[in-house]
Structure 1
């Protein structure tokens, strides 16, 4: 059983934390992952930076630029992750833009994920049709879960298609804004969450975009299997006290 599948079958209100690889320091990637697991994270999403991160807000954009300036790329990231599974046991997902994966080579990317123990990936700008026609066999060959995003504008037909071809979880985007905008549970947002819940999809769901504290995490979990925090976490990372700043942030989410 995959780590992702086992987690969703045994846990509720799952906390996933996103951060940028190579930030705040180039060699901090696995240190951050290890500290997150030690302090209660249940899924880790490692972002590989890109020069034009259109879906990301200013905090993650700034972390991506700093990481790239320090020399981060996919080759470096996979080198950093080669001992990942000696230090981290929970599911790990990579997140980034398709141009970076395409330049690295889709099969090379999936093969490298398996070699270092990465469980899945989130590539927001990879079209479903292109994935089905060109890349799905490669992801399935290596057992890498490709996780798709659903937004308030996604049609029911497309959601059903995403559910049919997904093997990990579905990323439920809370709004059409970029990352880092604080979640406001308006009547429209709650109606959107309820509509998705009523579809009784076969895959578990994680809510992201705008989750920044325990209150918004708990609200998001009312409509999904868990929630993802990104910008709020990246913002507090202190290069002078990395593990301390992680522990302090994660304390708020302890039961």
Structure 2
């Protein structure tokens, strides 16, 4: 069966992959958040599994994870909340989480549980490529889960090609905006360089809080954008029920 991520990437461009944090702003908001994002222009939904020491995340995501844990979110509860999520959406759902809680659960069991509730892929920022390849790749394959790796301007060409061979679904591209909130000539050159590599795996770019003009520039080089902070930031000041308002104002 074709993974939903592959199907979605094959069907359209200018994709919107949007982050939400499980258990934030309220403990039981997660299923509703996923449903409303699905109904309002989210092509791919990325759900953060909170961790107590999220060193690689942005301050916005770190704060949301802290609140979610204080609310009582756990890995067991997370899976329980998403048990019937496929009654609410057919959109691809990915889990973004750190290796520690996944390891504590058991990587094999975690992947198996993801398959049982129809999760499509995992983003694990602190999982080294070599460890994925040697220890965990088989669990992803067995459970039809996509492995979503990262690249940045510091990633060498040889490394990018290695990542391209191992990636599933898409490659998560990080390219921070310059201080003036606009892509610099250096960053545009980087985008052109990535496009010229003609990778087999589509690239999605994390646009942070970029405005529409900068997003339009990025989308001329990438398959779609990853909205990692904006929706979570919106939820820090609004209820989940106002998700449609966020989409109307931001996308």
Q: Same fold (TM over 0.5)?
A: yes
Q: CA deviation at 1:175?
A: 3.1
Q: CA deviation at 1:240?
A: 6.0
> What residue in structure 2 maps to residue 43 of structure 1?
44
**Would you say the 8 A contact 2:172–2:206 is kept in 1?**
yes
> What residue in structure 1 maps to residue 133 of structure 2?
132
**Would you say the 8 A contact 1:182–1:211 is kept in 2?**
no
**1:230 paired to 2:228:** yes
Q: CA deviation at 1:130?
A: 0.7
- TM-score of the two chains, using structure 2 as the length reference: 0.94
**Would you say the 8 A contact 1:47–1:95 is kept in 2?**
yes
SS in 1 for 2:112: helix
1:60-139 matched pairs, under 5 angstroms: 60-139=61-140
In structure 1, runs of 5+ residues without a counterpart are none
Distance (Å, rounded) in 1 between the aligned partners of 2:16 and 2:51: 25
Q: CA deviation at 1:39?
A: 1.0
In structure 2, runs of 5+ residues without a counterpart are none
**1:252 paired to 2:238:** no
Instruction: Name the Cα RMSD after superposition.
Output: 1.9
- TM-score of the two chains, using structure 1 as the length reference: 0.93
Match of 1:198 among 191, 196, 199: 196
Distance (Å, rounded) in 2 between the aligned partners of 1:154 and 1:32: 34
In 2 relative to 1, CA 128–231 (structure 1 residues): closer, same or farther, beyond 3 Å?
A: same
> What residue in structure 2 maps to residue 171 of structure 1?
172
